[in-house]
């Protein structure tokens, strides 16, 4: 199980195929980079070929100063393009850092007053699982990658496993009892709650609450 969603090999596919999520374009960075590269390459080709042609021409009127000016122009253009590229890369890095901070903030908020928390899509893939979910549901053979890994937990009855499965597939709210084992191995009477996420569609959050401490 990848700790971060962006580390998943199919993360881009999940995002692009999710209903109700709008992909944002942070400027036309890629388009401008491609256009700048094409223009810079075309200008370099023209200047180099023109300089080479004039150097071997008997009627050459090209002076050393002209060649130096051409080189300086190319160098300035390359530096401007390089500065533009570096600026946008740094900007992109800032966007990623802020997005990850926001995700960490939301994940921590979602786990408040819970024993564990995970997110599962309608295809029964575990998109996110916190450390407590990993500890409880992981076994020696499988990581927590699929809903079946959660349903394999022996603290759930067969009937409750079926209810959870249907709730995830149909994006319906469900509550079932679970015999939760804490980090000390002690049994805790708890409930497992499946809540469909309104947006983006096709995802459900599964949280476990201690019956004695559940916040309504």
Determine, yes or no, domain membership for 20: no
Same domain, 96 and 177: no
Domain boundary among 61, 76, 109: 109
Cα separation, 112 vs 78, whole angstroms: 51
**Per-residue confidence in pLDDT tens, the chain, 216 aa:** 555 666 666 666 666 666 656 666 655 566 777 777 787 777 777 777 766 666 666 666 666 676 677 778 878 877 887 887 788 788 888 878 887 788 777 777 777 788 999 999 988 988 888 888 888 888 766 677 888 888 888 889 999 999 999 999 998 999 999 999 888 888 888 999 999 998 888 899 999 998 877 544
Do 189 and 211 form a contact (C-beta atoms < 8 A)? yes
Determine, yes or no, domain membership for 9: no
Long-range pairs, 46-54, Cβ under 8 A, ≥24: 47/73, 47/74
What total of structural domains would you count in the chain? 2
Determine, yes or no, domain membership for 155: yes
Domain region containing 37? 26-109
pTM above 0.85, yes or no: no
CATH code for the domain in which residue 167 is found: 3.30.450.20
Domain boundary among 109, 144, 173: 109
Determine, yes or no, domain membership for 34: yes
């Amino acid at each position: 199980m990848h700790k971060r969603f962006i580390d998943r090999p199919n993360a881009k596919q999940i995002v692009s195929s999710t209903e109700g999520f709008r992909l944002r374009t942070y400027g036309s960075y890629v388009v401008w980079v491609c256009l700048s590269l094409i223009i810079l390459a075309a200008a370099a080709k023209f200047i180099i070929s023109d300089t080479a042609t004039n150097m071997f021409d008997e009627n050459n009127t090209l002076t050393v100063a002209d060649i130096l000016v051409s080189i300086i122009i190319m160098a300035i253009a390359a530096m401007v393009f390089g500065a533009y590229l570096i600026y946008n890369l740094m900007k992109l890095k800032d966007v990623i850092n802020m997005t990850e901070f926001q995700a960490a903030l939301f994940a921590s908020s979602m786990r408040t007053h819970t024993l564990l928390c995970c997110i599962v899509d309608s295809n029964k893939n575990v998109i996110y699982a916190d450390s407590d979910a990993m500890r409880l549901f992981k076994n020696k053979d499988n990581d927590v990658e699929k809903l079946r890994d959660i349903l394999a937990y022996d603290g759930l009855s067969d009937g409750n496993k079926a209810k959870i499965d249907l709730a995830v597939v149909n994006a319906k709210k469900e509550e079932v009892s679970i015999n939760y084992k804490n980090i000390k191995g002690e049994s805790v009477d708890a409930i497992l709650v499946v809540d469909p996420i309104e947006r983006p569609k096709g995802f459900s959050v599964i949280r476990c609450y201690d019956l004695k401490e559940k916040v309504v």
